[in-house]
């Protein structure tokens, strides 16, 4: 039998641990090296799940109009601009000279190209990534839910039942990624006050279909399938990139030994997780509950012993 400590941290197969019949765990592998930032995943997610619009204006930082995951943003495409030189340190073999595309300039007609002022423009690169709920092996949001609204599905994913959630919000600070959130908005808006997040399209995968975001992704940056097979595919992709000189390539969330027991949605990144807005070393926030309960029990015993000693001392 799995111990309480193992149920709260460490490698595990979450579906069977929740009482379901064993079957392959489902999840996402997002290869950010081929993400083009088209946001088809965001649109498909909203369309299929009826997620309300959350702002179309750019935030003033790159082409991002959503900023991060939230109750009405179940998919968020990050646009990160950074100097190309940081990539060139380890990818010297991949750095190419700029190519003249024949685009018009602001110089006067007939001006001598040789006499034209030259300005150095720092080369840069885009890092794009479609973020989503990680569907953790050990999901603290689920552990702290007092109503059972959050539950583990037979596919190993974590889903909110809208009609059971009472809006207490305990799950919000429990998430180490800051994913789940209670929806706010005007009266009449769908599920206002209810905790909301990605369901990994529970209804679609239950019918044998691919989640809407992965189905809409034109480059297959978002890949859906069995988590074990996706981990093998991701490791092979990283090995290929390393052979090509992209030594910054690394996996995030794929290790069953990490602080959440491995994520059901993991990523191939080209820089540190913080660059993409991801926590570098997330830990399930309920991991230390057994130790805390033990200390609380010892403290209670000490108080009882002290009270008993005081009572007996007075009787003498």
Binding residue ranges for [4Fe-4S] cluster: 35, 38, 41, 45, 133, 136, 141, 145, 165, 168, 171, 175, 198, 201, 213, 217
Numbered residues of the known binding site: 35, 38, 41, 45, 133, 136, 141, 145, 165, 168, 171, 175, 198, 201, 213, 217
Strands 195-196 and 222-226: unpaired
3-state SS, residue 40:
helix
Q: Is 204 left (phi over 0), alpha (psi -120 to 50) or beta?
A: alpha
165 three-state secondary structure? coil
Please give the Cα distance from 239 to 223 (Å, whole number): 18
Given a contact cutoff of 8 angstroms between Cβ atoms, the answer to whether 290 and 297 are in contact is no
E strand segments, 134-279: 150-152, 158-160, 181-182, 195-196, 222-226, 250-252, 265-269
The CA–CA distances, whole Å, from 192 to 20, 52, 71 equal: 31, 11, 9
Distances from the Cα of 89 to the Cα of 20, 128, 251, 252, angstroms: 48, 20, 20, 21
| Short-list 81, 39, 85, 37, CA closest to 60 | 81
| Residue written as token pair 């840069």 | 124
Residue 134: both structure tokens together = 């990680």
Element (H, E) at 46: helix 40-49
Query: What residue spans of 195-250 are helical by DSSP H?
Result: 202-206, 212-216, 227-243
Strand 150-152 relative to strand 158-160, pairing: antiparallel
């Amino acid at each position: 039998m799995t111990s309480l400590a193992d149920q709260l941290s460490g490698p595990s197969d979450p579906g069977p641990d929740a009482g379901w019949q064993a079957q392959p765990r489902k999840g996402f592998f997002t290869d950010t090296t081929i993400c083009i930032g088209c946001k088809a995943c965001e649109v498909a997610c909203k369309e299929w799940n009826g997620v309300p619009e959350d702002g179309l204006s750019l935030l003033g930082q790159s082409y991002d109009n959503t900023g991060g995951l939230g109750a009405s943003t179940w998919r968020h495409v990050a646009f990160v601009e950074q100097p190309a030189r940081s990539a060139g340190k380890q990818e010297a073999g991949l750095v190419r000279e700029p190519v003249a595309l024949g685009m018009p300039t602001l110089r006067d007609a007939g001006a001598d190209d040789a006499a034209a002022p030259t300005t150095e423009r720092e080369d840069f690169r885009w890092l794009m990534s479609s973020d989503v709920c990680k569907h953790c092996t050990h999901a603290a949001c689920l552990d702290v839910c007092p109503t059972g609204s959050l539950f583990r599905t037979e596919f190993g994913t974590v889903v909110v039942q809208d009609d059971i959630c009472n809006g207490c919000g305990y799950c919000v600070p429990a998430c180490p990624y800051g994913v789940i959130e209670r929806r706010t908005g005007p009266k009449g808006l769908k599920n206002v006050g209810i905790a909301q997040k990605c369901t990994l399209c529970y209804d679609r995968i239950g019918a044998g279909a691919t989640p809407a975001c992965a189905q809409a992704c034109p480059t297959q940056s978002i890949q859906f399938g069995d988590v074990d097979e996706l981990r093998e595919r991701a490791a092979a992709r990283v090995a290929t990139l390393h052979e090509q000189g992209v030594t910054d390539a690394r996996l995030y969330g794929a290790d069953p030994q990490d602080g959440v027991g491995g994520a059901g949605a993991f990523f191939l990144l080209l820089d540190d997780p913080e660059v993409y807005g991801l926590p570098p070393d997330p830990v399930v926030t309920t991991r230390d509950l057994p130790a805390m309960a033990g200390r609380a029990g010892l403290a209670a015993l000490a108080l009882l012993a002290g009270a008993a000693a005081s009572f007996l001392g007075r009787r003498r």
